[in-house]
Chains A and B, each alone.
Chain A
Amino acid sequence: MKKRLLVGTAVLAVAAFALTACAGTAGSGSSASGISKADAAKATSATDFGGIDGLVAAANAEGQLNVITLPPSWANYGAIIAGFEKKYPKITINSANPDGSSADEVSAAKAQKGQDTAPDVFDIGTAVLQQNLDLVAPYKVANWADIPDDFKDAKGAWYYDYSGLMSIGYDSKVIKTAPKSIDDLLGSAYQGKVAIKGDPTQANEAASAVYLAALQSKGTADNIQPGIDFFSKLKKAGNFLAVTPTEATVVSGETPVVLQWSYNNLAWGAAGGTSGNPDYKTVILPGTALGSYYNQAINVDAPHPAAARLWEEYIYSPEAQNLYLAAGAYPATLQAMIAAKTVDQKTLTTVGEPPKDFVQLTAAQATTAGTLLSSKWAAAIG
């Protein structure tokens, strides 16, 4: 009797495993709004839904949208997500792994393929995207023409969303005079204070700090070695702080100087309100500036294909583009918005127009730089 009970338990346990394993795949089926999920996944513009109202209806029927690696304090994503949920109250946004990397987006899409929890949309770095073009579905938003031609894939596989400029954020209570050149960071006032956003062989934003140092020290986008040398000097001077900064470490004073995208430095300062550090200032160094556009793209296996497409329509609406701008991130349609006067003029004045030209590493340059970093970085700061 007892034995049978045990066997029963074991069978039940195995069955439970099998069931949970299958549960993820069972969530498909056609939506109530006329267009099937398969058709929604093939839609390349709102016209395929019979216009924007059809798209909204299909997205409402799905009721969910999975976004990934969008920290609330990054480029104003907190407000952008809240804005979407307010505009489309029938759709709930599930925000996964906010502090993850572009590579984490790709691995989530691969690992959770076919499941309800897989990411619907990506906000992804160029280098990772170019290696994974089979993961994205083409789609063109209604105001596709507003995105400059060199900012998008002609077929609509990907499109730039926003860029910041690499900047130096500093706590003005600790650092009394603003840095005027990258070499200022080597001074004794910066002893143990200069942090970057993680390991450059891992995080694009940290690597971009090295690229900026290269551009500011006679290097080029093709040759970032001077940037590695700069950080080696910074380390030898005892100024390099091996902590990954967050808004919290900036507020507490743990990381007084941070090299990162301007929209993050700005967001952690006075613009961050009560959660920011009012004494935290942002400097964009004179000389060659470094920017980097992130890309929007839709997961080809998106569990909520209509909601994913509606998200892109929303992202390129002046409403969301102005939210990027408010955080100091330059949105892709900025020039078109200036021309059409849909830009929030007050915000633009505060943030300042983007410099006429800034360097952005091409996918090939980024790959070369990454290879160099992986062989030289550890020794430089070791």
Chain B
Amino acid sequence: MTTAVASAPAATTRGAGTSTRSRRRSAVWVGLLPFLAYVVIFLAVPAVLAVASGFFDSTGVFTFANLKALTSPQILNQFLASFGVSLVTAVIGAVVGAIICFALMGTKPDGVLRTVVDSASSVLAQFGGVMLAFAFIALIGTQGLLTQTLVHAGWAQNPLNHFGNNGTLLYQVPGLVIPYLYFQVPLMVLTFMPAMEGLKATWGEANATLGGTRFTYWTRIAMPILAPAFFGSVILLFANSFSSYATAAALISQGGIIPLAIKQATSSETVIGIANVAGVLALGMVIVMVILMSAYGLLQRRAARWQR
């Protein structure tokens, strides 16, 4: 909040300058102020407080001792599980989403099908949390519709209720892939479709004029142009899945992934005094997210080059 307030007089001084252009810019900055204040209060301050809490013990004394948690095998396993789920859902989501985009390219840009898929994707990409978990419990949980149909069809121990000798698939870390894909694929369609639409018809014509085939068009022109956008989307999907909490919390009761480890640390009534370890775990997640988002930013800049 301090930063937001401090930036206001600065903007006004600049606005007092003579050129119309800078005056207009100052107005833009003032308009941004409520948003900036919002981001600082509800994003920056909580994030800093959460991470900072990792560097204090339960009595409020500064310490680095909590960092030891990052070397414990349980925590490392949970980070690995988080990476695994995120990677698998990002790659599958990106490939399936890209294929859907490719298929949609054959339809009219303002046709019914593309509009429907587009708006459905906007809705489904946000469909997560407990609702999503419940939908899948009803479908492939122990008593789920599909699970019970298989059982009644004579397949008493099917992959849905007997996965890896650990019981129901949905309640294990690998099982998270299924509900996660439900929001990952639509998100891919949303983020990748603009890049696909950015492919100009003239490039295909130029390729044909120069004697290229459809194959060379895709391998030599379209794919290299789409690559930054594609990998950027993969990163976005990875981050999306890495930071998901509510769906996993509703499905998995034993550890599993890092957001659940943070919950365990903050609310444990059996292992006392580890609430501040959550701050260190949050720090780990923030580092991962910063790396991912920087990479995403770089790839976006490359992708944008062809979308002007």
Is A371 part of the contact surface with B, judged by Cβ < 8 Å?
yes
A101 to B275, CA, bound (A): 13
State which of A203, A239, A243 has its C-beta within 8 Å of the C-beta of B171: A243
In the bound complex, how far is the Cα of B168 from the Cα of A75, in angstroms?
30
Q: Tell which of B30, B41, B168 touches A10, judged by Cβ atoms closer than 8 Å.
A: B30
Instruction: Note all chain A residues with C-beta closer than 8 A to B58.
Output: 131
User: Given A238-B165, A243-B168, A254-B143, does the pair A10, B37 have CB atoms closer than 8 Å?
Assistant: yes
B269 touches A204 (CB 8 A): yes
CB distance B271 to A378 under 8 Å?
Answer: no
Chain A residues, Cβ within 8 Å of B5: 14
- Is the C-beta of A374 less than 8 angstroms from some C-beta in chain B? yes
CB neighbours (8 Å) of B15 from chain A are 3
A6-B27, A6-B30, A17-B37 known; A107+B275 contact, CB < 8 A: yes
Cβ of B162: which chain A residues have Cβ within 8 Å of it?
191-192, 238
- Cβ-based interface call for A89 (8 A): no
The closest CB in chain B to the CB of A199 belongs to B254
What's the minimum C-beta distance from B42 to chain A, rounded to whole angstroms?
A: 10
Instruction: Give the contact-size bracket for chain A.
Output: 35 or more
Determine if B272 is an interface residue (Cβ-Cβ < 8 Å): yes
Interface centre among A7, A239, A366, A371 (most CB of B within 10 A): A7
Cα of A103 to Cα of B171 in the assembled complex, Å: 25
Q: Is the Cβ of B74 less than 8 Å from the Cβ of A207?
A: no
Q: Is B167 an interface residue (CB 8 A)?
A: yes
Which residues from chain A contact B165 at a C-beta distance below 8 Å? 236, 238
Within 8 Å of chain B (Cβ to Cβ): is A198?
yes
| Interface flags, A184-213, vs B, CB<8A=1, else 0 | 000000011001001111111011000000
Contact of B30 among A3, A128, A374, A375 (CB under 8 A): A3
**Bound-complex Cα distance A373 to B253 (A):** 15
Interface residues on B, range: 35 or more
A57 within 8 A of B: no
B104 at the interface (CB under 8 A from A): no
Q: Are A101 and B168 in contact (CB under 8 A)?
A: no
B216 within 8 A of A: no
Taking the closest CB of chain A, its distance from the CB of B80, in whole angstroms, is: 11
Neighbour of A242 across the interface among B41, B254, B274, CB < 8 A = B254
Q: A7-B30, A192-B142, A243-B171 are in contact. Are A199 and B264 (CB under 8 A)?
A: yes
Interface of chain A, main secondary structure: helix
A254 close to B137 (CB less than 8 A): yes
**What B residues does A379 contact at CB under 8 A?**
73-74
A204, A206, A240: the one within 8 Å of B167 (CB): A240
User: What residues on A are CB-neighbors of B31 within 8 Å?
Assistant: 6
Answer yes or no: B266 CB below 8 A from chain A CBs.
Answer: yes
Please give the distance in Å from B16's CB to the nearest CB on chain A: 12
CB contact under 8 A between A103 and B30, given known A240-B167, A241-B167, A374-B271: no
A342 at the interface (CB under 8 A from B): no
- Taking A238-B165, A238-B167, A242-B167 as known contacts, 20 extra A-B pairs with beta carbons closer than 8 A to each other, sorted by chain A number, are A10-B37, A13-B37, A14-B4, A14-B5, A103-B269, A107-B267, A127-B270, A128-B272, A198-B253, A199-B253, A199-B254, A199-B255, A202-B263, A202-B268, A203-B270, A241-B142, A243-B168, A254-B137, A254-B142, A255-B142
Chain B contacts to A: CB under 8 angstroms: 1, 4-5, 8, 15, 26-27, 30-31, 33-34, 37-38, 41, 58, 73-74, 77, 137, 141-143, 161-162, 165-168, 171-172, 251-255, 263-264, 266-275
Contact residues of A with B, CB < 8 Å? 2-3, 6-7, 9-10, 13-14, 17, 100-104, 107, 125, 127-128, 131, 191-192, 195, 198-204, 206-207, 235-236, 238-244, 252-255, 366-367, 369-371, 373-375, 378-379, 381-382
